[in-house]
A = this chain, B = another copy of it.
Amino acid sequence: MTVLKNDCFLRALQRLPVDRTPVWMMRQAGRYLPEYRRVREQAGSFMTLCTTPELACEVTLQPLERYRLDAAILFSDILTIPDAMGLGLEFVEGEGPQFQKPVRTAEDVRQLPIPDPEKALRYVPDAVRLIRRELDGRVPLIGFSGSPWTLATYMVEGRSSREFRKIKGLMYEQPELLHILLAKLTESVSLYLNAQITAGVDAIMVFDTWGGVLSPVQYRQFSLNYARLALSSITRERAGKKIPAILFTKGGGQWLEAMAASGYDALGLDWTTDIGDARARVGDLVALQGNLDPQALYAPIPTLRAEVRQILERYGEGSGHIFNLGHGVWPDVNPEHVGAMIKAVHECSPALHRGGAI
């Protein structure tokens, strides 16, 4: 077993003392990096990157060469599960992901297989094993999945949506059918994350990108409930080490208390929530990850530094904060600004862990 050289991220997730606030970035392996764009171009398609462990490994490691990051995140996509269920995932240039066979009827739901992650999704644990070897203990590796609700939105809508008409129609007209779909997805997500854990990830994150379009009651019933159930079937330990789990609901700032009681070790916050208020609300139940507005990376560097500092100060003293963006980095951000953000976290945060203000 490789010994981790930097466990700052894992310690902060468990609210254990750290020297400084750890930092990583959603979509840190991605289009804003020229070295990523070169590999992506050679690969020909986004899915080739995801399904070729050597390429997924290469792009996962790229940001670590440039920046002093405290975690790597598996390069993949949340739609691998629906793809493995046979829905026919396609990425249409300028339009985002689409499914050839969206899920609409009871028969569609009944026919969905629960993918064996070591078969239809084998490329994912294979990539994890390879990345883990190449990382050689530099930083922890994060595995991830979409939440059952978020996967269901794409599967029912058939594509990215702003309005969620089809899935909300299903929710209001045939809630029991939606529950069957979500139960299938929950089992699939658990198996998928367990396979990533067995293959070597050190922490997991569940992306509930679209939980925020629901009412509070619907959120608990259709999103949080299944994110919680998925977690309950996941191995939380490997070789005596805890595998912490992070739940991120974009637009979920009003529901942090319920999320904090769901068994996850940490919550991701988007930028619409004050992280100091969030900490007061969740108390000692969970760590918090976030929450810089991704668009602050376009700001002049002094402004960007002030924004970073404000978030660190609002979280305040002590462990339990993992610095991140409030959503994924945009593709046309200047990589130097990403570096400036990370540097600001390194420079400003140590004082918060010595019992002093910044």
Interface set of A (CB-CB < 8 Å, partner B): 162-165, 168-169, 172-173, 212-219, 251, 253-254, 271-274, 277, 293, 295-296, 298-300, 303-304, 310
Contacts and interface: CB of A to CB of B under 8 A. Distances in A.
Nearest to A326: B215
The interface residues of chain A, by DSSP majority, are classed as helix
A223 B273 CA distance: 16
Nearest to A304: B172
Given A172-B300, A173-B300, A219-B272, 4 more contacts: A163-B295, A172-B296, A212-B272, A216-B273
A135 to B, nearest CB: 33
Given A173-B299, A300-B173, A274 B216 contact: yes
Instruction: Kindly report how many copies of this chain are found in the complex they form together.
Output: 2
A205 to B, nearest CB: 22
A214 B296 CA distance: 11
A251 B274 CA distance: 14
Contact of A272 (B163, B251, B303, B310): B251
A216 B272 contact: yes
A219 B293 CA distance: 13
Given A165-B295, A251-B251, A272 B215 contact: yes
A169 B337 CA distance: 14
Given A254-B254, A272-B251, A300-B173, A164 B215 contact: no
6 contacts: A168-B293, A168-B298, A173-B300, A213-B272, A216-B274, A251-B272
